[in-house]
Amino acid sequence: MAKRYYISPIIGDGTETNPYRAKVSDHGKPWVGVIPTDETGKPIKDWALVLVDTANHKPIVDDNAIDALPDVSLDVKLSAIGSSERGKMASALAGRGISDNTNSSDSYRVLVNGIGKQLDALFTVDNFDIR
């Protein structure tokens, strides 16, 4: 099993039998998502930061509705990620209106924390896990 971060659309209608959830749930793998909601329970964004734990990420990576973030350790410097991968990530984030205030000397952890904090100011990657 290996874990990887994704940006996933949110699906569902908020009913008990069709709750709001990250679209990665369609793939049937263990997942957790940051899905902040307003006072009515409706998600405040149409996307979620998601962590998926599976030995085979290919079906999710191949899902065009879901953006896979780089498959690297949180401690890796962004400068160590290949330019193609970084460009793909930047494009995916920009396409969803997600700010990226990192620089190349930052670690991947800073990037993931920054994305999470755009959903919940108290988000920390240290308390974001699935198994």
Partner 1 sequence: MAQFASDNFNGTEGDELSVHNSDWVNGPTSLGKHEISSNRCRHNSTTSSIYRHATSPASADYSVKCDIYAKTLGVTENAPGVVGRASSSAVTFYWARYDGGSSKAWQLYKAVSGTYTNLGESAQTLSTDTAYEIKLDMSGTAIKLFKESEGTAVVSVTDSAITAKGQAGIRTYSAVAPTDTTGIHIDNWSADEVSAAYTLVCDSGAYTVTGTDAGLIKDSTLTADSGSYTYSGTALDLIKGVALTADSGSYVYTGTIVDLVGSGSLVMGSGTYTYSGTDAALDYNVIMAADSGTYTYTGTAADLTHGNSFQLDSGSYVVTGTAIAFNVASVVSLDSGIYNYTGNSVSLVFSGGTWTVQPDSTTSWAAQSDSNATWTIQ
**Nearer residue to partner 1 within complex by CB, 53 or 85:** 53
Residues forming contacts to partner 1 in the complex (CB under 8 A) are: 12, 14-16, 19-21, 25, 28, 30-37, 39-43, 53, 101-103, 106, 110, 113-114, 116-117, 120-131
From residue 56, give the alpha-carbon distance in Å to each of 3, 10, 28, 30, 52.
10, 22, 12, 12, 10
**Shortest approach of partner 1 to residue 72 CB, angstroms?**
18
> Which residue matches tokens 């940051």?
34
For the CB of residue 92, give the shortest distance to partner 1 in the complex, in Å.
Answer: 19
Closest CB to partner 1 among 72 and 130?
130
Cα 22 to Cα 57, 104, 125: the distances in Å are 16, 29, 18
Residues in the chain: 131
Provide CB contacts within 8 A for 129, sequence distance 6+. 32, 51
Shortest Cβ distance from residue 124 to partner 1 (Å)? Answer: 4
CB-nearer residue toward partner 1: 68 or 125: 125
